Structure 1
Amino acid sequence: MSSAPATVTSSRFVATHSVLTLNAAHPYVAKSLVDAHEMHRTVMSGFRGWVPDGERDARSQTGVLSTWTVDLKNARLVLVVQSRVPADWSHIPNAALADKPHTLTIDRTLRTGDTLTFRTVINPVYTRPRRDPETGRTIERGRRIAHTRPDHVKGWFTRRLQAMDEPRNASDGLPRIGATADPATLGIRMLPTVTSASAKGLRVVRAEIRGSLTVTDPQALSAVLAQGLGHARAYSCGLILTR
């Protein structure tokens, strides 16, 4: 059943951002660039000791989300890591750093009607259920299928937009993000798929979305900013950067 529309007109979002500018030609960085699981390890290496070793949900406990861009011409990898606890990047080899790691505290009050410029990299997947060929009824939840066309990615995102006074969940239970946008103004770009030799079968289809959001439900948007959007959040998808 859909949640009732929010009545709260503001919500505070607090997190820590680390910005790492790395030398993409250095072996420490190059390994992360060619293997998605190694990138995950690099990101999580900044949070050793915050949770007991071996806990499977260490990323969610520390609130870690990340995104990265690479400039191959200048051999620069820029990694942005969001967390609810401070990171320690002192273990990164000096030669792998193109600049000193920069950290800042994000402390922002979101209000209904605010306009935000945003960028996010998402894993645009949907579940295709298996149906009984005779009855047409769903017999299994099915497997995840990735959208590979920009127009389909745009549809994936716009389904999660939340107009003013709409509930936080669509009629099919899909969570909305607490903001709306004009779909015609969204910029969609398909990014290279990332894989891993160390995590068999891992294949993350990625797409970048840029545009402008208008806040309609500050609490819902704060939750999405903190928790991330969609799947593959352990592999640098789902972080929404705003300004």
Structure 2
Amino acid sequence: MNAPRPAAARFVATQTLLTLDAKHPYAAKSLIDAQDMHRTVMSGFPGWVDDGSRDPRAQMGILSTWTLNLREARLALVVQSQVPGDWSRIPRQALAAKPETLTLDRTFGIGETVGFRTVVNPVYSKPPPPDAPPKTRGVRVAHTRPDHVKKWFIRRLQPLGEPPVAPDGLTRLGADADPDTLGIRMLPRISSPAPHKGLRLTRAEIRGKLTVTDPETFVGVLTSGVGHGRAYGCGMVVVR
């Protein structure tokens, strides 16, 4: 018999808001090169893991998300982590405001409702053709329509009493939602020039309300993110 799931779980992390001048070359390069944006995020965490260590972003629990205000030429970059960041390496002239850091310490219980926003890379695995060689992997294909993105997200919802892993092996969110209230918006794709010419990510923004059904799983999603593209500003779930 499976052990009962905890009725509450605690989420602890640090978040920093970096407001950058989008016209400054430092920020402008990050906007046009997804790999450069990744370097900007990771520049705040030197020394926490050994050089060459495998997947340092995941080890430090680093997630990020950003929005661009073209009218005001402001890039708002939010970075979340399990260790504190040091943003002294960002050129002072590139900062439109002083970095704002907040320590999050919040306990979530079953039945609690929260507003949320997330930017995701909504992809699915297309099986290889029947005549493909053994062990051939499927190809990741992006959803490019809002209705398909909504279905992608709904599959990850977890009604009360359901397990954290769906029968098909998909990891759920630890929360449920009314599909009719979800807002979906397709965002511009991001990419990276040489040497990362193959990097091209479809993105979609999802907003709405979530009702916590499995606090432990929900906190895991807040900590680790959802979906692919987490190194490039996708997958972070921001709640309020």
Q: Give the TM-score of the pair, scaled to structure 1.
A: 0.95
1:74 pairs with 2:72: yes
Flag structure 2 segments of 5+ consecutive residues without an equivalent: none
- The one-character-per-residue Cα deviations of 1:100-134 (angstroms, maximum 9, x if unpaired) are 0000100000100000000000000000001326x
Q: Are the aligned partners of 1:5 and 1:165 in contact in 2 as well (CA < 8 Å)?
A: no
Corresponding residue for residue 54 of structure 2: 56
What's the RMSD between the two structures over aligned residues? 1.6
Instruction: Tell me the alpha carbon deviations over residues 145-178 of structure 1, each in whole angstroms, 9 at most, x when there is no partner.
Output: 0000000000000000000000111111111110
Closer, same or farther in 2 for the Cα pair 1:39/1:161, shift >3 Å?
A: same
Answering whether residue 137 of structure 2 is matched by residue 148 of structure 1, we say no
Which amino acid counterpart does residue 66 of structure 2 have in structure 1? W
Deviation of 1:4 after TM superposition, in Å, equals 5.0
CA contact (8 A) 1:193 1:206 kept: yes
Shift of 1:139: 6.3
Give the aligned residue type for 1:229.
Answer: V
Query: Residue 131 of structure 1 aligns to a residue in which SS?
Result: coil
Structure-2 residue corresponding to 1:218? 215
Contact 1:4-1:167 at 8 Å conserved across structures = no
Structure 1 distance, partners of 2:3, 2:35, is 39
- Opposite residue 203 of structure 2, the aligned amino acid is R
Query: CA offset at residue 189 of structure 1?
Result: 0.2
CA distance in 1, matches of 2:136, 2:203: 26
Work out whether residues 5 and 216 of structure 2, in 8 Å CA contact, stay in contact via their aligned partners in 1: no
Structure 1 pair 184/130, CA: closer, same or farther in 2 (3 Å)? same
Partner of 2:228: 231
On the 8 A contact 1:120/1:210 being kept in 2, the answer is yes
1:25 equivalent among 15, 23, 41: 23
For residue 55 of structure 1, report the CA deviation from its aligned partner: 2.0
Structure 1 segments unaligned to the other structure (5+ residues): none
Residue 122 (structure 2) aligned to one of 121, 124, 127: 124
Q: SS in structure 2 opposite 1:77?
A: strand
**Cα deviation code 1:161-211 (max 9, x no counterpart):** 000000111111111110000000000000000000131210010000000
Q: Distance in 2 between matches of 1:171 and 1:180?
A: 17
Q: Deviations over 1:209-236 (max 9, x none)?
A: 0000000000000001001100010000
Q: Distance in 1 between matches of 2:147 and 2:156?
A: 15
Alignment deviations for residues 6-56 of structure 1 (CA, whole Å, 9 cap, x no partner) = 521000000000100000000011000100000000000000111112223
Q: TM-score, normalised by structure 2?
A: 0.96
